[in-house]
Amino acid sequence: MQNPTARQYCLATILAAFAAFIPVAVAQSLLDNYSPVSLADLQDPPENDWLMWRRTANHWGYSPLAQIDKTNVGSLRLAWAWTMEPGRQETTPLVHDGVMFLPQACDFIEAVDATDGSPLWEYRRPVVDHIATLACANRNATLYKDQLIIATMDAYLVSLNARTGEVTWERQVGDWTVGQHYSGGPQVFDGKIITGMSGCYYINTGSGLPPTMRIPARSCGVLTPCRKSVSPVAKPGATCLMSYAAGARRGCRPVMMPSST
């Protein structure tokens, strides 16, 4: 006759193994059910989704969800918390089909279950020794088809498989060795990826670059004397691109992009 204690131990082991399997199964089911994001979705996203920076192409940043309002917002309590990568965190979390994508400092990306924060996958891009002081930041990304598209500190556009985090393609756009980088992410319009290159705060300081690499005085911004608070590496007499608002007053109409400095 089998020892009751042995039976209890065996049952406890089976239950523990089953409990450990449940989160994995749920996570895999969540990823298996992930649906491609269409151009129509980007134009008019489902109310539970946030597919790009500011959610829609008009950049309103408006959510139609109505479950939380002024009558119940005071009763909200913490549901879950997640420790993010050390560094500058200015990200826009993206959500589609219950998966939350978190672009973080220095191009570290995590996908988690939006209901409880359970990790699904992560992508970590090798960090380069960048000369621009603000390069190690990643404010946002965009979802399109089965891709999460990011723009990186080494001036690449990178497409990650939204279900696995694996790289599906990447393209070099700029040259990080002269100070170019992305800190604001891309957006997709009419099937085209649009993003603003950062780094002119460094390049415009006269730090040894040829004149053709500097932003011309007729650009939308206004070139003014650099201040150390704006550019710590500015040389005496250098100019910096300071004000798009002043450029607009002159009749220039710049396009608003996330961090297109």
CB-neighbour burial class of residue 219 (10 A; exposed 0-12, middle 13-18, buried 19+): middle
> How long, in residues, is the chain?
261
pTM over 0.85: no
Higher pLDDT, 90 or 52: 52
Q: How far apart are CA 226 and CA 236, in angstroms?
A: 8
The domain segmentation of the chain, as residue ranges, is 10-60+84-196, 199-261
Buried b (16+ CB within 10 A) or exposed e, 72-81: eeeeeeeeee
Q: How far apart are CA 75 and CA 68, in angstroms?
A: 10
Share of the chain above pLDDT 70, in %: 67
> Is 130's pLDDT higher than 60?
yes
Confidence of residue 146 (pLDDT cuts 50, 70, 90): very high
- Chain segment 28-42, per-residue pLDDT in tens: 789 999 999 999 999
- Name the CATH topology of 10-60+84-196: Lipocalin (2.40.128)
pLDDT of amino acid 1: 52
> Is 254's pLDDT higher than 90?
no
Query: CA angle at residue 95 from 94 to 99, to 5 degrees?
Result: 120
- Chain segment 63-76, per-residue pLDDT in tens: 999 999 999 999 99
Confidence of residue 206 (pLDDT cuts 50, 70, 90): very low
pLDDT of amino acid 151: 95
Other Cβ atoms within 10 Å of 94 Cβ, number: 26
> Is 117's pLDDT higher than 70?
yes
Asked if 199 and 181 touch (Cβ cutoff 8 Å), the reply is yes
* Average pLDDT taken over every residue of the chain: 78
What's the rounded mean pLDDT across residues 216-236? 44
What letter does residue 33 receive in the DSSP assignment? T
